[in-house]
Amino acid sequence: MLLILERAITIKNLGKQLFGHKRICGGKYKNSQILFLIDAALINAAYVLTSGVFLSGFIINLKGSDFIVAILNNAGTWASILTVFSFLIFERIKRRKKLLITVGALSRFLACSIVFLPLISKDEKLIITLVAVMVITADLLWGFYQLGWMIWYMEIAPEGKKNDYVYFRMFLLRIAFTITTLVMGYVLDFYKKSYTGFLIIFVSSLVLSVIDTVILLFIEEPEYKIPEENKSKKTIFLEPIKSNEFRDFLIFIFAYYLCLTISTSFTSIYLIRYLNFDYGFISTINVITYIVMIISTKFWGRIQSRKGTISVLKYSAFFTIIDFLMYVFLTRKTYFMLLPSALIGGFGNGGFNIAIMAYRFEIMPESAKSIYEGWFKAIYGASVLLAPIIGKLLINVMPDYSGLAFPLSNFQLLYLVSFITGALVVMVTFYKTGFSKNKGTDISI
Kindly state whether residue 23 falls inside one of the protein's structural domains.
no
CA–CA distance from 6 to each of 3, 13, 16, 132, 319 (Å)?
5, 11, 15, 56, 38
Q: Which residues of 86-98 are buried (b: 16+ CB within 10 A; e: fewer)?
A: bbeebbeeeebee
Kindly state whether residue 15 falls inside one of the protein's structural domains.
no
CB 128 within 8 A of CB 212: no
Return the minimum-mean-pLDDT range out of 135-139, 232-236, 272-276: 232-236
Kindly state whether residue 20 falls inside one of the protein's structural domains.
no
**Has residue 118 got a pLDDT over 90?**
yes
| 388-443 residue pLDDT tens | 889 989 988 887 776 665 678 888 999 999 999 999 999 888 876 445 554 444 33
Q: Which residue has the higher pLDDT, 63 or 404?
A: 63
Kindly state whether residue 281 falls inside one of the protein's structural domains.
yes
**Has residue 255 got a pLDDT over 80?**
yes
Phi then psi dihedrals of residue 408, to 5 deg = -125, 110
Query: What is the domain count for the chain?
Result: 1
Q: How far apart are CA 119 and CA 121, in angstroms?
A: 6
- Residue numbers of the domain that contains 333: 29-223+234-435
Kindly state whether residue 316 falls inside one of the protein's structural domains.
yes
Kindly state whether residue 172 falls inside one of the protein's structural domains.
yes
Give the domain CATH number at 103.
Answer: 1.20.1250.20
Kindly state whether residue 108 falls inside one of the protein's structural domains.
yes
With CA atoms as reference, report the closest residue to 143 among 91, 89, 86: 86
How many beta carbons lie within 10 A of that of residue 324, not counting itself? 26
Kindly state whether residue 8 falls inside one of the protein's structural domains.
no
